[in-house]
Amino acid sequence: MTQAQDTVTTRREATIDDLYHVPENGKAEIVNGKLVLMSPTGDLPGSAALEIVVSLRSYARKKKKGRAYGDNVGFVVSLPNRKSFSPDAAFYVGARTGGKFLQGAPVFAVEVRSEGDYGPRAERKMAEKRADYFAAGTLAVWDADVLIEEVVRCYTADDPETPKVFHRGEIADAGAALPGWSMPVDDLFA
């Protein structure tokens, strides 16, 4: 009779350097020590995110403060369970970093739902991500649902559980995160 041996397997935690080497330059975030790959998005979510970035870019130029960023830009943070974000659209006021990822969270982040972003598991994951955004210093997060409910939910750091909901035909904003900025919800469907 042989004695069974316990094998201890150690897994290396993902690092920011791993983000620079994601296969085919794909989109990923580091969550709970793992590199979490994100699939590409489709037509309506992609064009909605672009409309938001264009509006944010106009706001940045008008205010001469901050910058708008589109999909697949990395924001490095230092939370116990998360080391990065890659929102669909964002507004950032920190220093430029050249070719490196931005340091710190955006003041405003947008997550545009794709087809796989529905159901109890997806809702739980999105709520966890919003909590991480707020823990990292983000002031407002949009949950833009352009596929089913056609609404924008604006969650804010001062009331992270109760979103302000904007419907088609209304003007959505990011509250105190971006004073004076707003855009028509209908523009997300242009």
Fold of the domain spanning 41-189: tt1808, chain A (3.90.1570)
Q: What is the side-by-side order of every strand in the sheet holding 102-103? A: 84-85, 75-76, 102-103
Q: How many CB atoms lie within 10 A of CB 70?
A: 18
Q: SS in 3 state form for 28-81? A: EEEECCEEEEECCCCHHHHHHHHHHHHHHHHHHHHHCCCEEEECCCCEECCCCC
Nearest to 66 by CA among 79, 55, 80: 55
**How much is the pTM?**
0.89
pLDDT for 100-149, tens place per residue?
999 999 999 999 999 999 999 999 999 999 999 999 999 999 999 999 99
Domain ranges for the chain:
41-189
Banded model confidence at residue 26, pLDDT cuts 50, 70, 90? confident
Would you call 79 exposed, middle or buried from its count of C-beta atoms within 10 A (0-12, 13-18, 19+)?
middle
Tell me the chain's radius of gyration from C-alpha atoms.
Answer: 18
Banded model confidence at residue 6, pLDDT cuts 50, 70, 90? very low
Inform me whether the pLDDT recorded for 2 exceeds 50.
Answer: no
Residue 83 token pair: 């080391």
Amino acid 11: pLDDT? 67
